[in-house]
Amino acid sequence: MGLIKISIDLTKIDKSKIKYHVNGSKYYAITIAELAQVDDYENTHTVYDTQTKTESENNAQKNWLGKGKEIKYKPPGAAEIGTTPTYQAPGTTDDDLPF
């Protein structure tokens, strides 16, 4: 399991892209993409404005907002990620317990 912790530079937000909902809420669409390589600060992801279809088709320059990193954690009792559980045949033990 894991999370992605992101920091966004609020001064870079394009206010013209804020969408207003009839209920009074405001929305701003962002895209999170995985970096090809981890950077010097161990960031694994980047964030930019979600482009319109026209912007994407015209290969418009992305408005980069920030970066972040994936944080992996292991819930209590879970096996280590990337390890194979060991198998012990029924009826065999490697301890002296009577059960």
pLDDT of 80-94, one tens digit each? 655 655 555 566 555
Spatial distance between the Cα atoms of 51 and 29, rounded to a whole number of angstroms: 9
Distance of CA 67 to the CA centre of its chain: 10
Single-letter residue type at 64: W
Per-residue pLDDT tens over the stretch 34-70: 999 999 999 999 999 999 999 999 999 999 999 999 9
State the pTM of this model: 0.65
Percent of the chain's residues with pLDDT above 70: 76
Residues 13/29/53/62 CA torsion (nearest 10 deg): 40
Cα–Cα separations (whole angstroms), residue 21 to 2, 73, 93 = 31, 36, 64
